[in-house]
Amino acid sequence: MKQLVIPDVSLGAVGPEIVLVVTAILLLLLEVFTARKEKGYLAYTALGGVLLASAMTANMNGYTEMNFSGMYVVDNFASFFKLVCLLGTGMTILVSVTYTINEGISNGEYYALLLFATSGMFFMISGSDMVTIFMGLEVMSISLYALAGYTRNREKSNEAALKYFVLGALASAFLLYGIALIYGATGSTKLAIIGDSLRTGIANYHLIIIGAALLVVGFGFKISAVPFHMWAPDVYQGAPAPVTAFMSSGPKAATFAAFLRVFNEALPSMQADWWQIFWILSVMTMTVGNIMALRQTDVKRMLAYSSIAHAGYILMGFTTGDWFGVSAILFYMLVYTFMNIGVFAVVTIVARKNEEKTTFEDYTGLGYKHPIIGVTLVVLLFSLIGIPPTAGFVGKFYIFMSALQQGYVWLVIIAVVNSVISVFYYLRLTIVMYMTEETTEALPSLSLSPSLVTALIISIYGSLWLGVMPSSYITFAQAASLIP
């Protein structure tokens, strides 16, 4: 008689996930019993859950442990990316407090969806089995579909949710089909076993190539890499501004983490085949993103194409396939979270109710009428460009050097040219704020809540301090690299 094997289960390994899910459920319950005037406190309840999960995640740094029969791993790589996702979630909550009250959507389910999405990101990041990664991706995606259309009274928001859902479901189908093909070729969905099957020559190599290509399509959609980027501008423009900030940071970081784990643990022996694909994807993504951003008149759409361009820079780290490239990606995602959410925080302030003010012209005179907000936005834009001594410069320099060390000189040259192109549309917004004559319509006064001020301070801190004193954070990223 065959003995029943009990899988190893460690609830401590998923402690942060439990905290996030329990907090989300608590928010749904509190929503029923909380008066409308007191619903602002729901945001701080969600923030408390994020802070507790952050403390637990930081405490796990330095440990490496496999759990749930090898389907879930806790390691430095996972801890780093989880902290980046929690940073993005926490800053999004701070930006959302005033926004949700003004829009009449300050509900417990809004913050619950943010936490559910974050828990899905955690399973993507720590998944050492493709089934776990796919499960986490779907939990994250379903939450994002609902968040994108959360302002139901706005047509653009409804359109964004519908487009995101349809195209996201298609991308998930590609990803799932790729997982099925790899399972058929190796007999397993565990990343370590797939890697061993490839190294020993047991697996059907041609079938795995097709499966890996489908994985690139699925992951490429989630990181908005060209040519799988068409959803991003419409969704970024239509979704609520804080949700757009959230989508551009945490979910993107989680997808890059899963992408890295799959290709560096399951498919490292195929690097001779896939580095060329990532080289082409990187060039296409950064070039299309920057060129299309030049043509935009809406700030949110411009930032959408900017996000696509930055995904192209990050893909340079995939091309190298070594520990230097991986650590550069980790550091870049941390820097990008600080500066991008900060920019969207300013967009939230300027847009006002129903997001009626999101064009470039709406920023005319902002630098003079509201100098603190103007200077904050300029610093963040300079960081996105990569001007020293901002963190964006260090992030780009680090990731460009990783490609240069591997001999990808032309890739670095193209990336530098693209960075120069990005100067035009980022500085265009600066020129509108400081060098354009005010229109007849005076710029109204803007209200800054304590939560928004806190989010902006965190963004400025990250965008400047990581540029002036980046060594400790780079060391942390190198320690978290998958490849020793």
Q: Are 290 and 418 in contact (CB under 8 A)?
A: yes
Residue 440's pLDDT is 44
Q: Report d(CA 461, CA 335) in Å as an integer.
A: 11
- Cα 399 to its chain centre, rounded Å, is 17
Looking at residue 484, its pLDDT comes to 47
State residue 275's pLDDT score: 79
Both tokens of 186, joined, read: 């190796």
Peptide bond into 389 cis (omega under 30): yes
* pLDDT under 70: residue ranges of the chain: 1-9, 35-39, 203, 437-447, 482-484
Question: Which residues lie below 8 Å from residue 197, measured CB to CB, with a gap of 6+?
Answer: 185, 186, 187, 188, 203
The number of angstroms, rounded, from the C-alpha of 414 to the middle of its chain's C-alpha atoms is 24
DSSP character string of 152-213: TT-HHHHHHHHHHHHHHHHHHHHHHHHHHHHHHHHS--BHHHHHHHHHHT-S-HHHHHHHHH
Q: What is the pLDDT of residues 120-179, one digit of tens each?
A: 999 999 888 899 999 999 999 999 999 988 888 888 888 888 888 888 888 889 999 999
Q: What predicted TM-score, i.e. pTM, was given to this entire model?
A: 0.92
67: alpha, beta or left, given left = phi > 0 and alpha = psi -120 to 50? beta
C-alpha distances (whole Å) from 309 to each of 6, 164, 197, 302, 429 are: 47, 19, 35, 11, 17
Collapsed DSSP state (helix, strand, coil) of residue 73: strand
Q: Residues with Cβ < 8 Å from 241, sequence gap 6 or more?
A: 95, 99, 300, 344, 347, 348, 351, 355
Angle between helices 108-126 and 130-148 (to 10 degrees): 160
> Any idea what the Cα angle at residue 225 is, between residues 302 and 356, rounded to 5°?
25
Angle at 93 between CA 89 and CA 99, to 5 degrees: 140
| Dist. CA 409–CA 415, nearest whole Å | 10
Q: How many CB atoms lie under 10 A from the CB of residue 6? A: 7
| Residue 250 contacts residue 88 (beta carbons within 8 Å) | yes
What per-residue confidence (pLDDT) applies to 359? Answer: 82
